[in-house]
Amino acid sequence: FDDTLIIRPTAGSKQAEWSTTSGPGPCGRRGHTLTPLDDNRLLLFGGTTRTASFNDLYLFDAGKMRWLPVVGVTGDLPSPRAFHSAVIVNKVLVVTGGTNGDRVYGLEHDTIHAFDTTSGKWDQVATPGGQAGLPPRFAHAAAPVDRQFIVLGGLNPFGVSTSAQVPTGQLC
């Protein structure tokens, strides 16, 4: 699908109303992330179609009900990917894991990337003290807690991973 649905549940009711946006937006995709930047804006990263994977960023402005491509991005961009995780930690979008259909990202290759939403720059995040990176995984979950994030589960190239990991170094 390439539509954007806005669903508004009604408190105390078993009903909800919904609407769509108008105007251009990201192409239809799956396996992307849509991460809250603040109370009114969301960041979309990555995803895939049958023929391509993406490493693009779009901003959804809920106040204006429209999508904007994030332009002028610099730095060490993550490889195109889908089924990754993304969280906001202190105004930084942190992306980890995922797959492009041929490779599962983790360990020494493309393990964690950080996009500074104020400067527009991507950086690959090194793990502290020579520790191995996160094990390769995709289709996992991640959530921010204080100035860190927790990664849980997902699939690795060999089967299901069920361990929870908290990176030991703070990102910001």
User: In this predicted model, what pLDDT tens digit does every residue of 89-107 receive, in sequence order?
Assistant: 999 999 998 888 777 666 5
- Please report the pLDDT score of residue 106 as a whole number: 66
pLDDT of residue 162: 47
Query: What is the structure's pLDDT at 126?
Result: 76
Whether residue 167 has pLDDT greater than 70: no
Question: How many Å apart are CA 89 and CA 101, to the nearest integer?
Answer: 28
Tens of pLDDT, residues 6-55: 887 878 878 888 888 877 889 999 999 999 999 999 999 999 999 999 99
Q: Could you tell me if residue 91 is left (phi over 0), alpha (psi between -120 and 50 degrees) or otherwise beta?
A: left
Residue 63 scores a pLDDT above 60: yes
Q: What is the pLDDT of residues 137-156, one digit of tens each?
A: 888 899 999 888 998 888 87
